[in-house]
Structure formats: structure tokens, C-alpha cells
Amino acid sequence: MSAIRQPAVAGRFYPASPQRLRAEIESYTAAEATEAKLPALGCVVPHAGYVYSGHVAGAVYRRLELPQRFVILCPNHTGMGEPLAIMSRGVWRTPLGDAAIDDELADELKRRMPLLSEDEQAHLTEHALEVQLPFLQQLDPDFRFVPIAVGTGNFEVLSALGVALGNALAQHRERVLIIASSDMNHFESDGVTRVKDRRAIDQMLALDARGLYDVVREGHISMCGYGPAVAMLTAARKLGASRADLIRYATSGDVSGDQDSVVGYAGIAVY
């Protein structure tokens, strides 16, 4: 019997009511007619409660030509499970229905990256991947995805994951989008956070995975999903990416009014 991953943060990070959830996503993703769609290979999107970061995630998703297949990389905030945790069977349930795991692509990734461990535990209460799914369910029905929780900060492992992703996706005629779920700097002042985040954003815009890793680690930037971003950038470069755009940036202070302790949110498209 295939696993059903139940929603862990519905009613907290986003509405549990399907009607309210659809209306909120629509408010974040209503695109202007003049906006051209980008055929992205990868992207970075935030994962806070929708009230804080939904407008940044929505700005990214509405700008992309969304394919039918995704690899979604998220940090492991809970510390549960394996360092590289994949689920290759089953569905993830949200208030908008069930999103199916791409078992064929998941199996291929496990063959190419032996450090990927089959592990539901790491995903059980992790919010960073779950909050992406309602956006995709509303904008891109019938998609399939591979969920991977990244709980290691080892650059060689992150780079190897990116290489495996790039090599696997290069064999597919249809485009697969790699989503790196990450918030930016945490719980410093708005002024400090914007300076720190800009340093990390500049490395991502330069498509420099090693540069991002070094800036985050040496600059004490508490970007929770730098690991997923490093792997995504590595894979995107192998797939021929030559450009990245900052779609939107904000901090939680823009919503809360609290400028003393904020979280940064960046939405980036890589193509």
C-alpha cells in the first residue's frame, strides 16, 4: 500500500479550508498580462507562513512555465531521519487533494545518488516542502514530484547530489523543475538581514554554488535552505543554466512591522 503523507501544517502555515486556501493562493499568483513566463530549470522559494512569505513564493510561481514534473528540495528543520531523505512512493495530501510522488524519477535518482535514503520520518512534520504543494496544485494540476529533505551541510555531498540531479534530468526530454525551498537570514534586524541576504543572493544570481556555500558559512547567514540551493544551482549549471533573476525579496518586517527581528525571503528563478 502506498504511503499517504498527511498535512502537518495546514491551518497554521496556510489555511486548512480548501476555499480559503485557493483564494489566498490566487491573491499571490494573479499575474499581470505583460509578464513573460520563464522556462526555468531551478528556483528558490521561501517556506514561511503564507501571510509572511506567500507573496514572494507566488511571485516566483506565477512567472515560471511550470512543467509536469518537479524535484523539491527542502531543509530538514526537525533533525529527524536521514541526512538525505527521499520518499519514492505514495502521495502527499493537502486541503486541495493528493499530490503524487514520481516513483520513476525517484528510483532513478536513488540509483545515481546512493546516499539518498528512503525515509518517511524526515518528512513527517517538516513544513518547508509541504507549503510548496498547494501552489503547484492550484497552478499546475496533475503534476508529479520527488520530495527530498536535506539534513547535511557537507559541501561534497551537496555537490554530488546536484551532479546526480543534473545527470538524471539531462536524460529526460521533458523539462523537470528543481525547487529549492529556503528562507534567508533569521532573527536579526531588518537592516542587518538585508545586507547579509544580499551577499547570499548575489552568489545565487552568479550561479555560484561554492560561493553561496562559503558566504553563508563564513558570513554567519542563517539561510536554512542553503543546502538545497547549493544542490539546485549545481544541477542547473549541469543542465545549461546561464542566468538567474531575483523575482522578489522581502522580510517578515514588511508584514509585521517589527524591524528588530525579521526573517528574509528571496524568490529566484534560474534558467
80-96 pLDDT, tens digit each: 999 999 999 999 999 99
Confidence of residue 35 (pLDDT cuts 50, 70, 90): confident
Q: Going by DSSP bridges, is the β-strand pair 144-150/69-75 parallel, antiparallel, or unpaired? A: parallel
With CA atoms as reference, report the closest residue to 61 among 128, 146, 132, 129.
132
- Whether the pLDDT of residue 33 is over 80: the answer is no
Q: Provide mean pLDDT across the span 233-239.
A: 98
CA dist., res. 132 & res. 192, Å (int): 27
User: Does the pLDDT value for residue 1 go beyond 70?
Assistant: no
User: How many beta carbons lie within 10 A of that of residue 257, not counting itself?
Assistant: 7
pTM over 0.75: yes
Phi, psi values for residue 40, rounded to 5°: -70, 150
Assigned C-alpha cell, 250: 522581502
Average pLDDT over residues 243-250: 98
How high is the pLDDT of residue 36?
83
pLDDT at position 114 is 96
Confidence of residue 32 (pLDDT cuts 50, 70, 90): low
